[in-house]
Structure 1
Amino acid sequence: MTFKIMADSACDLPLHFYEEDAVVLFPLKVNLNGEEFEDLKSISPSSVYDAIRNGQVPKTSQVSPVVFKNTFTQMAENKETGVYIAVSSELSGTFQTAVMIYEQVKEEYPDFEMKIFDTKCVSLGCGLIVQKAVSMRNSGENLAETLASLQFYANHMEHLFTVDDLDYLAQGGRVSKASAFIGGLLQIKPLLHVEDGKLVPLEKMRGKKKLLRRMLELMEERGSDLSSQTVAISHADDEQTALELKNMIIEQFHPKEVYISAIGAAIGSHTGANTIALFFLNSKE
């Protein structure tokens, strides 16, 4: 029996992925100039970056409970099962809202069963997990087998990323204001990673070239069986650097694939432009 796959826009996969691979999209919301937009659907990342450059501060909010309610109710009525692959619960309240709505729907439909999966990942770290779920579903794997593999991916997903200005992450409460102050004061590029679903500053250094080389050093230290992996890079209005990093990775590690996608409006509201993020597994499945 096949199963439904759902994901939110914070996994930074392009809109056509959801449409072509039969994945239900739960869009996060972006508030700009007093207007509310749906990430991927009614606002572009470039609109967010232009607004930030002009001194505006976009706000984001979690997926609408109504969207969850409608989707889960329809699944229950159709006797469907599935998995919602959620962005880290440490970075968004979307996971908790989905759990709450699921419990409400289950009261009305006691036989309704689905999985709400907290990836503890963000951007394409979460996106790679969604792609794995699609691959397994399309290969005929059942939900239980798929969930076991997704848990492995979530447990072993490495995130390495840099932002131009930590102040944006600090304003949204994603990193401490002290970390942001130090980064801004010294005019250096921070390197961050994810620990248990939280964004954690790792190192600070000067110069893009040096930073990209350091990302590859950490990739070599942490990665496992990189030649058989799909590695992912997400970027915020900086495709040139993403392609540069891709070529460096191919030359050094020869992965199965290097997948590049733009950071969406919701995540971009917190990172600002010129963010580069790298994702890979630190253990062999």
Structure 2
Amino acid sequence: MNPVMIVTDSSAYLPPDLVATHPIRVIPLTLNWDGQTYRDGVDIQATEFYNRLSTSSTLPSTSQIPPGDFENIIKELLVVDYDVLLLPISSGISGSYQSAASVVNNFPADRVVLLDTKLVSMALSFQVLAAARAAAAGANLTECRQVAQKAYSQIGVYFTVDTLKYLAAGGRINSAKRLLGAALNIKPILEIRDGKIELVSSVISRRKAIESMLRLVEEGIAERSPVRISVFHAQARETAEELIGIAQARFSPIECILSEVSPVVGSHTGPGTLAIAYQVGV
């Protein structure tokens, strides 16, 4: 039986120590800005990106992972006798899944498997980590795929943004345009639902947004255990640290991860984005 390598992309923005200690490989997405191309998390890091975005008169665009990048890493891993489980960003958010789908049929179906994760950011990371932990424990490719599929039903994620202009400009959520005409300080609560960004509700302050997200997470957990929590942010570390402290006290998680929103994802949500993801039952 071959060992299994989990391949994801930089939208997950897994902390480097977790990537280094698990059978995980990360392919960077691409950011295009003022005539320059940057590999997400390689050529440009989160802090640098958000500092520039907050003062820039231009907005970056993003590009899906080209098929050749998936093909190259699959070939590289097969040569050293790994089976490969591909877990890219949701097909409802990026075309990277379609890029992967265009090449997987070039490889043996019992060696390479692709799943539409329907997730992004640290919610995707939870799914990736679940599969990677199974792989590290000796699970085969079929078993790792089953773990990833089961993990999807155990994960939830909610987030709020400081301004709706990035979501509206990127066309990632139709309701963003509708909300732009509302009060200037409105804070939407959004979730990843069936692989797409959807509006849950809106409130009139950052504090109420945090309270609403915690309530939604509590409802999602529904007294199940164990619980894993991640808080991730875009240039909002102080608030993120406060949120993760509240979540630790409230939900007693066995794992707590503080991370950032990757530049590619942040180009569609903007500075000030604050999010919380949970996983239960594993």
Q: Same fold (TM over 0.5)?
A: yes
* Inter-partner Cα distance in structure 2 for 1:136 and 1:240: 34
What residue identity is the alignment partner of 2:51? D
The equivalent position to 1:145 in structure 2, one of 143, 146, 151, is 143
1:68 CA displacement: 1.3
**1:17-46 CA-partner distances (Å, limit 9, x unpaired):** 333434221110001111001111111123
- Residue aligning to 1:263: 261
Q: Would you say how many aligned residue pairs link Structure 1 and Structure 2?
A: 279
The equivalent position to 2:72 in structure 1, one of 66, 70, 84, is 70
Judge conservation of contact 2:22–2:133 (CA < 8 Å) in 1: no
Deviates more, 1:231-240 or 1:7-16: 7-16
Deviates more, 1:239-248 or 1:42-51: 42-51
Judge conservation of contact 2:65–2:96 (CA < 8 Å) in 1: yes
1:16 CA displacement: 4.3
What residue identity is the alignment partner of 1:11? A
Runs of 4+ in 1 over 4 A off after TM superposition: 76-79
**1:211-240 CA-partner distances (Å, limit 9, x unpaired):** 211111111212144551211111111111
**Greater percentage in helix:** 1
* Inter-partner Cα distance in structure 2 for 1:123 and 1:151: 17
Judge conservation of contact 1:84–1:117 (CA < 8 Å) in 2: yes
**1:46-77 CA-partner distances (Å, limit 9, x unpaired):** 33323322222011101132211212223444
Aligned residues: CA RMSD? 1.9
1:284 CA displacement: 3.7
| Pair 1:226–1:161, CA change in 2 (3 A) | farther
* Inter-partner Cα distance in structure 1 for 2:278 and 2:25: 24
- Residue aligning to 1:52: 53
Matches within 5 A, 1:71-150: 71-103=73-105, 105-106=106-107, 113-150=111-148
Give the 3-state SS of the residue equivalent to 2:163 in structure 1: coil
Tell me if 1:237 matches 2:238. Answer: no
- Residue aligning to 2:8: 7
1:141 CA displacement: 1.9
Give the 3-state SS of the residue equivalent to 1:46 in structure 2: helix
Give the 3-state SS of the residue equivalent to 2:172 in structure 1: coil
What residue identity is the alignment partner of 2:143? E
Judge conservation of contact 1:30–1:36 (CA < 8 Å) in 2: yes
Give the 3-state SS of the residue equivalent to 1:201 in structure 2: strand
* Inter-partner Cα distance in structure 1 for 2:125 and 2:109: 30
Tell me if 1:216 matches 2:206. Answer: no
1:111 CA displacement: 6.9
1:180 CA displacement: 3.2
* Inter-partner Cα distance in structure 2 for 1:49 and 1:251: 30
The equivalent position to 1:200 in structure 2, one of 193, 198, 206, is 198
| Pair 1:275–1:230, CA change in 2 (3 A) | same
Judge conservation of contact 1:226–1:254 (CA < 8 Å) in 2: no
Judge conservation of contact 1:167–1:181 (CA < 8 Å) in 2: no
* Inter-partner Cα distance in structure 2 for 1:78 and 1:255: 37
Judge conservation of contact 1:163–1:272 (CA < 8 Å) in 2: yes
What residue identity is the alignment partner of 1:279? A
1:127 CA displacement: 0.6
Judge conservation of contact 2:227–2:252 (CA < 8 Å) in 1: no
* Inter-partner Cα distance in structure 1 for 2:218 and 2:233: 21
Judge conservation of contact 1:76–1:112 (CA < 8 Å) in 2: no
What residue identity is the alignment partner of 2:170? G
The equivalent position to 2:169 in structure 1, one of 143, 150, 171, is 171
* Inter-partner Cα distance in structure 2 for 1:14 and 1:200: 26
What residue identity is the alignment partner of 2:93? L
- Tell me the TM-score normalised to structure 1 length: 0.91
What residue identity is the alignment partner of 1:86? P
Judge conservation of contact 1:79–1:112 (CA < 8 Å) in 2: no
Judge conservation of contact 1:11–1:126 (CA < 8 Å) in 2: yes
What residue identity is the alignment partner of 2:137? S
1:181 CA displacement: 4.2
